[in-house]
Amino acid sequence: MKRTLFTPEHDHFRESVRGFIEREIRPHHDQWIADGIVPRDAWLKAGVQGLLCMAAPEEFGGAGVEDFRYPMILAEELHRANCTGPGFGIHSTIVAPYILKYGTDEQRGRWVPGMVSGETILAVGMTEPGAGSDLSSVQTTAVDAGDHYVVTGSKSFVSNAVSADLILISCATDPEKKAFGVSVLAVDPRTPGVTVGTPLAKVGWHAQDTAEVFLDEVSVPKENMIGKPGQGAFLMARELDQERLLISVGAVASARAALDWTIDYCKERHAFGQPIGKFQNSRFALAEMETELTIAQTFVDRCVTEWNEGGLKAPEVAMAKWWTTALQQRVIDRCVQLHGGYGYMTEYPIAQAWLDMRWTPIGGGTNEIMKELIGRSMGF
């Protein structure tokens, strides 16, 4: 089914992105997996290519384009190439909007040019050992000390943490107010008292650096607060929808890539004198996955269109996130099975995709939380 949401300008951008990935990312990705991190040079090249923070105003070096189809295309092409290492989406689509939308003119002038060029890599510390999706239970505190805050606490599962030059930290500036006392502070990880742990050993996404961040009486200037005191939970909850939509895009793109590899494999692999795709079981499985992915892609494309128009509601984003990531799991698992023993070998892209997929029903709020949000919107 032909997709109708893209213009010729988007098609040209896709060609540019695909060429960049083939030149600068795909040939090196296996080494990045071994190293557990994407080198800064790759970030700088992405900045030169114009792939970072495209929504940033032109005065700061950005394209000034607030069109979700552009980060959508970047995510789709990275998944098509099976390159999950670069945290460009986390940087540009998940973290940058806090500064672009809610930062002061001084903050934007200070940070945005580097965000666009790749010289200032962003991360966000929201999850804690005892507080996942519940922002009202944040234990990291920020004590008012006149012209600065003293921040103490820790954050878990911080993506881009090892690479980051700036980490947005959720912290309780007024703990008694629970969610209404949570604020967001931008912290330079080189500040005394900040310790970034070694990269965590994850099941998948091995080239993407994820670590814990520890803060021990860290002095953070008040001018580093994003938004106003007590707005943190509201801002983070609001921007989570964009993260969840991006996860949905990636889930469908990842499953589509896996199915395409599997179709090719089923045409090439022979058993009992014929391609394995000729067996009824294989054909039925492929037909079912093709149908489900066509439906999922149609829904996600519609969600992106409505997002650009400002009409997509949070429960609808939750529907997209849980449905597409659950579908991604089913599709890739079946694709591994159709590959037989080769599907279990990490030299085959399908095996790496199978490892990577397990994160998506967890990240951005678990799928159980998504169903809870949908249920509440129905009046329960």
HEC per residue, 124-147: EECCECCECCCHHHCCCEEEECCC
Residue 243 among the catalytic residues = yes
**Catalytic-role residue among 77, 239, 243, 316:** 243
Bridge partners of 151, per DSSP, are: 142, 218
Cα(118)–Cα(44) distance, rounded to whole angstroms? 5
Angle at Cα 77 formed by Cα 252 and Cα 11, nearest 5°? 105
Over its C-alpha atoms, the chain yields an Rg (Å, rounded) of 21
DSSP states along 53-88: -TTS-GGGTS-----THHHHHHHHHHHHTT-----H
Residue 126 burial (CB count, 10 A): 22
Cα(239)–Cα(219) distance, rounded to whole angstroms? 26
Amino acid at 182: V
Residues 6+ apart with CB under 8 A from 296: 252, 255, 323, 324, 327
Residue 371 burial (CB count, 10 A): 13
Cα(221)–Cα(242) distance, rounded to whole angstroms? 28
What residue has token string 């999706």? 133
Cα(346)–Cα(351) distance, rounded to whole angstroms? 5
What residue has token string 């190293």? 35
Q: Which residues are catalytic?
A: 243
